[in-house]
Chains A and B, each alone.
Chain A
Amino acid sequence: MPPVPPPPPPRAPRQPADRGPLVRAVLAVLVVGLTVLALAVMVNGQRGYQDWTTWAIFATVMAAAHLLPLVWKGEPRRVWDVVALATVGLVFYWVALVLPFIGYATSFAQTMAVACALAHLWLLPGRR
């Protein structure tokens, strides 16, 4: 009678993959992408980058700050503070310039960008 082979060792249960960094990266890219889209598309003969250039650059910089956690591996609390400050700037831009024209398609894109920025801030490590 041939010897019975030993049973295979029990496999460790698969750990669920941490999707947090991926979700945060997607949100950060969406913040920048939607902001640039809202400022680059012409609606009613107006384009953000042409007609309110300084504010458009301000909004773009505030949105781009959401990419910082992807490249800056500093103290999470400090990274969060910087991104929170940028989010406040982006929200102020939204209230001051976008809200009066909330019916425009570009305003919808900018509103979605602000929503993504808030969600990104919420999910970022180091939240106060």
Chain B
Amino acid sequence: MRTRTLAWLGTALAVLSLGLPWRFLVGTPGHVTSGYYTNYCYYDYFGTYVCDTSFTPGVFVPGLTGGSYAGTDSVARFFIVAAIALALIGGLYVGSARPVRWAAYAGVAGVLLYAYYGLMGGLLAMAAASVCFWLAARHMPDEAPA
């Protein structure tokens, strides 16, 4: 496959990864804490021991909304945009292998940052984009042609 085609394919995959999920969070349901009674006891004017009891009701603790977070919502977007910029400017405009290789590294860094949370669509697309950038860089000159 031609070098430019690979660079364009990598760019397209990187843009795609912006819209794909990078992380999934399991939702937690909300709950109400148990209330408690408070006794206030004292001797009244006639010497009788009296207790006043009050009840404090429990409060509602909201749960967390579960769901997946797309590339645009995650920190990975910095790595994705950096990779796209390096591939477009350095690779396709300047025509040098070094920026394209760095685009691959930026993509891999983003993937590694989120690999802990499991392999999701966004990670896979970005990993594929990084492979495309790396393959494109292999067939390009290290320095821009004069």
Interface residues on B, range: under 10
Min CB–CB distance A123 → chain B (angstroms): 14
Q: How many residue pairs bridge A and B at CB < 8 Å?
A: 14
Contact check, B73 vs A100: say whether CB atoms are below 8 A apart. Answer: yes
**A23 sits at the interface (CB 8 A):** no
Contact partner of B81 among A91, A100, A102, CB < 8 A? A91
A88's closest neighbor in chain B, by CB? B85
Query: Contacts of A95 on B, CB cut-off 8 Å?
Result: 77-78, 81
Expressed in whole angstroms, the Cα–Cα distance for A91 and B73 within the complex equals 16
Complex alpha-carbon distance, A13 and B41, angstroms: 108
Q: Which chain A positions have C-beta within 8 A of B3? A: none
Secondary structure class of chain A's binding surface, majority of residues = helix
CB under 8 Å from chain A, chain B span 68-83: 72-73, 77-78, 81
A99–B73 alpha-carbon span in the complex (Å): 7
Which positions 65-121 of chain A face chain B at CB distance < 8 Å?
Answer: 91, 95-96, 99-100, 102
Contacts of A91 in B (CB 8 A): 81, 85
The contact string, 1 if C-beta is below 8 Å from chain B, for chain A 35-65, is 0000000000000000000000000000000
B8 to chain A, nearest CB (A): 17
Q: List 14 A-B contacts (CB under 8 A).
A: A91-B81, A91-B85, A95-B77, A95-B78, A95-B81, A96-B78, A99-B18, A99-B72, A99-B77, A99-B81, A100-B72, A100-B73, A100-B77, A102-B72
